[in-house]
């Protein structure tokens, strides 16, 4: 089974984030970056499928030169080779633009399965995997909690609302978005880290993919919410105060 895993590099959870002068993104200097946590579960699932059924795992990431670090991490954990779509301004892309670029890179060779994390930790749109499936013309399923491969098909368990689950069958090739917590993510071993140095990473400039995309959305401004406090006393009889409280909870706080 030949599996491609889309992994994104995002700011580290403990990074001191500062907003850039344009107010459209954060300052990327002097902060650490790491693999998007939902994508790490997708990578682990791909490695387990390879161990069980054989085949190859290809780690794909888009971003500037530093994005190669998450590809190298994937290679150290057991991925066979990497594909880097180079773009210094990738953060300006909306989910459709990202999906078009990834689809163009993935179309260069056939894959049995394409995995993505459910969403990214930095922007959290949760749409790239679904759009990628549509652009590639492949069946897809989302919020996957378990995968069983048999006879050229997949039987997958989807997480629904209110504690419900759904089992569906998906033909291959297909695209799946993996739910966080589906497995226990492995650490890279010393042997894996040494082996990763000999594994191939192919770099492709995003401009060379011939993907023309006019953004359908843009970030106007990023800002830190201001903390405010407001106290209001409700007067009147108990009946009148209760009526006022219900009115405020319903129309102002919107919790009823």
HEC assignment per residue over 239-255: HHHHHHHHHHHHHCCCC
30 pLDDT tier (thresholds 50, 70, 90): confident
CA-wise closest residue to 179 among 148, 158, 162 = 158
Query: Model-level pTM?
Result: 0.83
Q: Is 136 exposed, middle or buried (0-12, 13-18, 19+ CB in 10 A)?
A: buried
Q: Give me the chain's average pLDDT, please.
A: 91
Contact status, residue 39 vs residue 176, Cβ threshold 8 Å: no
User: From residue 142, how far is each of 25, 31, 126, 211, 250 by CA, in Å?
Assistant: 28, 32, 10, 25, 34
Contact status, residue 205 vs residue 86, Cβ threshold 8 Å: yes
Answer whether residue 213 shows pLDDT above 80: no
Structural domains in the chain, CATH included, are 2-209 (3.40.50.620)
Answer whether residue 88 shows pLDDT above 80: yes
Which residues in 213-231 are b (16+ Cβ under 10 Å) and which e?
Answer: eeeeeeeeeeeeeeeeeee
Rounded average pLDDT over 143-172: 93
Joined tokens for residue 246: 């219900």
Tell me: the pLDDT tens digits for 158-186? 999 888 999 999 999 999 999 999 999 99
Rounded average pLDDT over 214-220: 80
Give the containing element (helix H, strand E) for 64: none
The neighbour count for residue 125, using CB atoms within 10 Å, is 15
Helix axes 95-106, 128-136, angle to 10 degrees: 50
Contact status, residue 12 vs residue 32, Cβ threshold 8 Å: yes
Joined tokens for residue 50: 């390879």
């Amino acid at each position: 089974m030949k599996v491609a895993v889309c992994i994104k590099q995002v700011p580290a959870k403990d990074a001191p984030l500062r907003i850039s002068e344009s107010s459209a993104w954060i300052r990327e200097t002097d902060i650490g970056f790491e693999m998007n946590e939902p994508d790490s579960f997708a990578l682990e699932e791909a490695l387990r499928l390879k161990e069980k059924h054989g085949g190859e795992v290809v780690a794909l990431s888009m971003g500037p030169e530093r994005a190669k670090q998450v590809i190298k991490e994937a290679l150290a954990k057991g991925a066979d080779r990497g594909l880097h779509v180079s773009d210094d301004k990738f953060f300006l892309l909306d989910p459709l633009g990202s999906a078009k670029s990834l689809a163009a890179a993935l179309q260069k060779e056939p894959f049995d399965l394409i995995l993505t994390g459910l969403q990214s930790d930095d922007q959290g749109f949760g749409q790239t995997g679904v759009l990628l499936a549509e652009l590639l013309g492949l069946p897809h399923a989302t919020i996957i909690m378990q995968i069983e491969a048999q006879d050229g098909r997949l039987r997958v368990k989807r997480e629904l609302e209110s504690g419900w689950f759904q089992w569906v069958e998906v033909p291959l090739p297909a695209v799946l978005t993996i739910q966080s917590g589906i497995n226990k993510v492995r650490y890279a071993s010393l042997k894996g880290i040494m082996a990763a140095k000999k594994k191939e990473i192919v770099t492709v400039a995003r401009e060379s993919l011939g993907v023309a995309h006019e953004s359908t959305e843009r970030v106007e401004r990023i800002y830190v919410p201001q903390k405010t406090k407001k106290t209001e006393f409700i007067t009147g009889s108990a009946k009148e105060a209760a009526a006022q409280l219900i009115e405020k909870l319903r129309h102002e706080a919107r919790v009823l």
